[in-house]
Amino acid sequence: MKRRPTQKQVLLLFDNQQTEKKGAIIRKPGSNRLYILFTYFGRRVEKTTGLDDTAENREKVRKWFNHIIAHRDDGKLVFSEAFPRARDEEKSFFAELEGNHYAPPPSDISMGEYIQKWKTEIIPFSGSRINQGDYLAILKAWIIPYFSQKTFYDLTRLEIQKFLGSMKCKIGKNKGKTVSKSRAGNVITVLRALFENACDEYHWEVPDPFRNVKRHMPKKPPKKREIFRFDEWQLIVQTFHPWYRPMIEFMVLTGMIHSEISGLQRGDILPNHVIVQNSIVRKVASDTVKTIYRGRKIPITQRMRMILDEVLARTDSLYVFAERDGGPYLREGFIEDYWSKPFENSGIPYHPPYSMRHSFAAWSLLIGVDPLRLVNLMGHGSKQMVFEVYGNYIEGIEEDYWDILNYFGKDYVEIKKKPLAFYKNISCESLCESHGPESRNILITR
């Protein structure tokens, strides 16, 4: 029978004042692994974490173990879920005790109070910083105002239907109008996660209030993608703020989006190409872009070169389209402070910034760019997106053909053929031998 280590045989970590009643993190003599030690329903529990004793692992175990102890003290710990590799008899022993422990019904749990706990205990440890920010923003803007005074008992299919019907845009030109289906879907995703976490924590077996929720989602006619007529675009460019004018022209010449423009660095500018590989979303820099297809290589035309030369000479910043202080361009505030004003001053109907990307696609198709090439330039996964979403925008702008062609430049439309320099010093006989008799004509013409 194994001897249980005494207090002198274990090394208490972090806080030597901790007691077994509250819980301790220990390391045994001769082992470099971290263990946890605590009591549960009066029974001593000692478990290995499987992690070596490093500074990083100590902090990781500390956070996880604090969570375990907090759940134990609140009567919410489920031993079999916290320690799935524990012995079956041990899990059965605690399951019986937990089964007799009081679990509050949904009518006793305020959604507002649970949300506050959820924000501090769950969200900080789930997903990326961007996803965490999205969750917090949705809670603040939509879920807390509507559900904070309700209990989980009130979260029914009828209540969710009412909630969806109440969702109206709060700012911008669509203020007061029904939100988009995608926006409503994002909010429902967070609300569902909140509900499922509460059910797991309190072991509720209740009807799913999100069943058939799709039938109650906002139904709005498909929104037509807006593009610029060329004279409209020219007027916007001429009246735009001088510092950001090169940037918006570069966006309409490349189809790049805000996050890609924000993250574009000097090192991404090669002699003949722009490499799209970095992004900044909600002030968070990343060395990845929106999807695997968005990482791409865009040939530099003469007009693009002029823009790059201008903006790279303005600052010594790491970023191509830097702000005056050298920091990266950030989308936040740009629409209100700079994008909207030229429309107000010129009387041109408002176009959202994404119209620059739509215009790039539609204009490219108009002047004869191969759709398959456009797929690569835009960073799409298939040509279906180009044909179905952008293909119908050509009608009505045919008279802009020559203006758009001159704007992009013939070097954008014409693909340079590879030189046949590698044929030099190769005999006609050896070429015909490997590539067939028709290759003789290539050598003759050169």
Cα torsion 313, 316, 319, 322 to 10°: value is: -70
- Mean pLDDT for the stretch of residues 409-422: 63
Q: What is the pLDDT of residue 391?
A: 55
Q: What is the pLDDT of residue 6?
A: 45
Q: pLDDT class for 124, splitting at 50, 70, 90?
A: confident
Higher local confidence (pLDDT), 333 or 231:
231
Which of 260, 236, 252 has its CA nearest to residue 356? 252
Q: CATH number of the domain at 106-216, please? A: 1.10.150.130
If you search the block for the tokens 């559900």, which residue do you land on?
Answer: 147
Tally of CB atoms within 10 A around 258 = 22
Cβ contacts of residue 176 below 8 Å, gap of 6+?
168, 169
Fold of 230-413: hpI Integrase; Chain A (1.10.443)
Residue-averaged pLDDT of the chain = 82
Q: pLDDT class for 309, splitting at 50, 70, 90?
A: very high
Domain with CATH 1.10.150.130 in the chain: 106-216
**CA 424 vs CA 79, 429, 441: distances in Å:** 75, 13, 14
Asked if residue 129 has pLDDT above 90, the reply is no
Cβ atoms of 167 and 184 closer than 8 Å: yes
Higher local confidence (pLDDT), 9 or 303:
303
Domain with CATH 1.10.443.10 in the chain: 230-413
pTM of the model: 0.57
Cβ atoms of 276 and 379 closer than 8 Å: yes
Q: Compute CA 316 distance to the chain's CA centroid, rounded to the nearest angstrom.
A: 29
- Mean pLDDT for the stretch of residues 420-436: 39
Give the residues across from 44 on adjacent strands: 39
Specify the length of the chain in residues: 446
Asked if residue 436 has pLDDT above 50, the reply is no
Higher local confidence (pLDDT), 169 or 430:
169
Higher local confidence (pLDDT), 436 or 308:
308
Task: Phi first, then psi: give them for residue 243, nearest 5 degrees.
Answer: -70, -35
Q: pLDDT class for 223, splitting at 50, 70, 90?
A: low
Asked if residue 138 has pLDDT above 50, the reply is yes
Mean pLDDT is highest, among 340-344, 368-372, 406-410, for 406-410
Higher local confidence (pLDDT), 27 or 12:
27
Q: pLDDT class for 397, splitting at 50, 70, 90?
A: confident
Burial letters 320-342, b for 16+ CB under 10 A, else e: bbbeeeeebbebeebeeebbeeb
Asked if residue 171 has pLDDT above 80, the reply is no
Q: What is the pLDDT of residue 220?
A: 65
Higher local confidence (pLDDT), 385 or 160:
160
Q: What is the pLDDT of residue 408?
A: 96
DSSP string for residues in 151-180:
BGGG--HHHHHHHHHH-B--SSTTTTSBPP
Q: What is the pLDDT of residue 389?
A: 60
What angle (nearest 5°) sits at the alpha carbon of residue 275, between those of residues 271 and 278? 140
Asked if residue 276 has pLDDT above 50, the reply is yes
Q: What is the pLDDT of residue 424?
A: 36
- Would the CA dihedral through 214, 219, 224, 226 be positive or negative? negative
Q: Which of these ranges, 164-168, 356-360, 367-371, 419-423, has the smallest mean pLDDT?
A: 419-423
Give the residues across from 26 on adjacent strands: 12, 35
Cβ atoms of 261 and 322 closer than 8 Å: no
Asked if residue 78 has pLDDT above 50, the reply is yes
